[in-house]
Amino acid sequence: MLTPQNPSPAAARALILGSTSRYRRELLERLHLPFQSIGPDVDETPLPQESPRDLALRLALAKARDVAQRFPEAIVIGSDQVADLHGQPLGKPLQHDKAVQQLRRMSGQTVIFHTAVAVVCRASGFEQVDIAQINTRFRPLQDEEIERYLRLEQPYDCAGSAKSEGLGISLLAAIDNDDPTALIGLPLIRTCQMLRQAGLSLP
């Protein structure tokens, strides 16, 4: 378990992923940097009239700040993803019936996934946040396709009820984005840029 450390140069700072998401952990492992995952304590309830984009940005920064407050010498990554259907946020369905409802609503529609990432280090005063926008167009879906997909992949912990990195790609007609891993949950291009600016060496 990480404990607060004495001040150290950026290259020697601990790196923390402020998330318990296995998807984000697997993505960050691609960078071959040692890190630990620590869950933030953040209320993810949307604010009144808050847009999906603003919600993702606010939560990514709140998650990074929460963990950074506990470990001020570390460099902390926070991230959040919100699916956006015509301006309305779609959360994680968590159960089968809600996933069916989500995919029925998304059938034939363009859904925007807002994936925000923040990097914070309290000791150095570093704080940045950015967001990737992924436009996904779902093809028209039949109920039997939705049922078959959900039974096979069970993506109940994914915003929008589909895993593009798995069988969920078969539900889509097109994806348009500039940071390919953003749809999975962590925009690595933006994350790498921020980590370099925070003082880490990559690769």
Instruction: Enumerate the active-site residues.
Output: 80
What is d(CA 121, CA 33) in angstroms, rounded to the nearest whole number? 17
CA-angle at 27, arms to 23 and 28, nearest 5°: 120
In the numeric block, the tokens 């925000």 are attached to: 116
User: Residue 105: exposed, middle, or buried by beta-carbon count in 10 A (0-12, 13-18, 19+)?
Assistant: middle
Q: How many CA atoms lie within 13 A of 79 on its CB side?
A: 31
109: which DSSP letter? -
Residues 187 and 181: beta-carbon distance below 8 Å: yes
- Residue 24 corresponds to which tokens in the numbers above? 């984000």
Rg, the chain, Cα only: 18
